[in-house]
Each structure stands twice: as structure tokens, then as C-alpha cells.
Chains A and B, each alone.
Chain A
């Protein structure tokens, strides 16, 4: 056994995790290599000193002080039992994000008005569209959309000359998804 290998085994030897073959090899090496023998003696002495350090006891009034501080502390909420309530802020945030994206979607063609009250009914009210949502060009095969159609699809939803009002509640938009047209870079919202 070479010195590097022997020294690599010191920790496992101390933890009594060597196989019999490793132990025999290490002991044989230590018997024939004084520098490694010294190294191992110092290693084990250092760990003996560490392990033999006296236990440090807590102060005499430790329990009383802990109990006093604990009485003043507020119990943390039971996250296991109240796990469902943790989703409420997430849902609200998601609904808010959808509203922001919807506002961006309509951009200059749409004037957004906030609901009249926070107790607004959970409905979606849209004026328009006047035109069909999707009008395939004659030279486009059925089931295929031309780039022009894809780009214009969001605009075709509403009459660009007319104000469109969305009244959105968090539940009404919770199933909505927003994606971007890969070519037109316009956000498309679907419900």
C-alpha cells in the first residue's frame, strides 16, 4: 500500500468502516512506514481530544428561560391543516396577471375600465365582435391558417373602432390561457 492510499483510509479506520482487507493493508503499511505511523497517531490523537471534550451543560435556569420566551412567542400557523388556504393568494395573483396581460393584449384598440365594485359578478361581458373571429382566405386549405390570419386574429376579435369592455372576476378568468403569436408577437388570450 502506498502512503497516499494509507492516509486516505485514516478517516474510515477511525470510524471503523474498513473492510478486513483494508485494515490489514493499512496496519501493514503503518508498521513499515514511520512517517505514516506518526501521521496516524496525530490524526487519532486530535480526534480523541475532540471526542473527549467535556459536555457543555445548559445554564441552571435554562428551562425557565425557554418557557418564558416561548410564552411570549406566537405559534406558527399549522401549515398542514391550512394547506388549502395557501392557494388563495396564488389564485389572486394569477387572476391579476391575466388581467394585466388582457390589458396589454387589447393595447391601443381597447380601453380598459375597472369593475365598478369589488363585488362585481363573475362574468365576462364583451361588446362585439362584429366580424367573425376567423375568416379563412380562399387559397388556404381547411384546418390551416395563413400567417396573415394568425397575425390578425386578435384584432379580428373586436371592432378596433369601438370600445370593448371586459368585466372580469378572478373565477371567470381562471381557466384562461395567454400565449403569443410566434410571428405577430401579439398576445392571444383564450378562455
Chain B
């Protein structure tokens, strides 16, 4: 990052290559929308480049870039919620897709319908339905594997709040995946 700040021409592409996977995965899992997530992940790196001289060396670079990614993802979620409140066609389509998948999940056997990709898709959708503030903490912890302290720094909240949000998010996720889990447990 120091080299990026002093405009070393090779440093920024290298930094993008190194962190693109983590940022793209984080944003994708939070939004559950690959195309939009790719665009948003690019925006994360553009923000890093624009503010490269304001990076504080006191914290890890990964914390800084995850903070930017989390904030952009939050903004996108809120924008979608506002749009959904206007009952746009996109939102309606998304809601209908949710219903179709829920019905399929609850009526058909795991062996015939929930192959690996479908199962992952269902889990991804379940995560996407967890409320934003819980979802971000959940993805940072259970998908990105960040320690609680770093999540607190990324989200700008106390460590105790992080723990309670993650506990709550895990409970919600388990509840949403209940039909799948029950089937998975059947002989």
C-alpha cells in the first residue's frame, strides 16, 4: 500500500490482484448478486485508489478495504430496499424467485432436487434474506473468517455487539435453512 500511495505504477495492479478474490467474494455473498457484486467490488478498489494517500498505517490494510467494501455493500442493500419499497418489477421478480425456490426446497427430496449447486444457491439466498446489519457480520465471520476484533473495526461497533449480531444472524440463518437441514437429517 505504501508503494500505491507514492504512485508506483506496478503496485496498484498487484494490490488489486491480491485482494480481488476476497473483496469480490465478500460483496457477492452479502448481495447475492454476482453481476452487481463485480461492479461494486471494482468500485471498492477505485475508492482505495482515490483515497490511497489517506490510508492510516495503524490498522491492517485488509481491515481498511473490508470497511470500504462493507460500507458500499450496505449502501447498495439500502438502495435496493428503497427500490423494493416502490414495488419495482425487479423487486417483484426477485420476490417471486424466492417463493419458487422456497416451494421447491420444501416439497422435493434432497437427493433429486438439491444437488450441490442448488443447495449452495439456497444457502446464498438464505444469507441474503438475513437483515443487513446481521448479514454483514455473519459473512465477515463465517465466510471470510475474520476474527471478532477485526469485524468490530470494520463495522465500527463494539466487540460485544459483534458477538451478539453474529449469534443472532446464525440463529436466523439456521431458522431459514430449517427445511433443508431437516431433510438433510432424514435417513
A75 to B52, CA, bound (A): 8
Whether B13 contacts A59 by the Cβ 8 Å rule is: no
What is the distance, in angstroms, from B156's C-beta to the closest C-beta of chain A? 19
**Chain A residues closer than 8 Å to B34, beta-carbon distance:** 56
* Contact among B23, B51, B142, B182 with A47 in the assembled complex (CB-CB below 8 Å): B142
Number of residues from A at the complex interface, CB < 8 A: 35
Known pairs A56-B25, A67-B16, A73-B50; A50 contacts B166 (CB<8 A): no
B-facing mask of A41-56, CB < 8 A → 1, else 0? 1110111011101111
**Chain A residues closer than 8 Å to B49, beta-carbon distance:** 66, 70, 73, 75
User: Interface residues of B toward A: which range?
Assistant: 35 or more
Known pairs A38-B185, A49-B119, A50-B123; A63 contacts B16 (CB<8 A): yes
**Chain A residues closer than 8 Å to B25, beta-carbon distance:** 55-57
A46 to B185, CA, bound (A): 12
B174 lies within 8 A of chain A by Cβ: yes
A79 to B185, CA, bound (A): 57
Known pairs A53-B124, A56-B34, A63-B13; A42 contacts B45 (CB<8 A): no
Whether A76 contacts B54 by the Cβ 8 Å rule is: yes
Whether B20 contacts A80 by the Cβ 8 Å rule is: no
B173 lies within 8 A of chain A by Cβ: yes
Q: Which one of A41, A65, A81 has the greatest number of beta carbons of chain B within 10 Å?
A: A65
Which of chain A's residues has its CB closest to B7's CB? Answer: A75
A100 lies within 8 A of chain B by Cβ: no
What is the distance, in angstroms, from A98's C-beta to the closest C-beta of chain B? 32
A11 to B20, CA, bound (A): 30
Whether B123 contacts A53 by the Cβ 8 Å rule is: yes
A58 lies within 8 A of chain B by Cβ: yes
**Chain B residues closer than 8 Å to A79, beta-carbon distance:** 54
B37 lies within 8 A of chain A by Cβ: yes
Interface residues of A, Cβ cutoff 8 Å to B: 10-11, 14, 38, 41-43, 45-47, 49-51, 53-59, 62-63, 65-67, 69-70, 73-76, 78-81
Interface residues of B, Cβ cutoff 8 Å to A: 12-13, 16-17, 20-21, 23-25, 28-29, 34, 37-38, 41-43, 45-46, 49-54, 119-120, 123-124, 127, 138, 142-143, 163, 166-167, 170, 173-174, 177-178, 180-182, 184-185
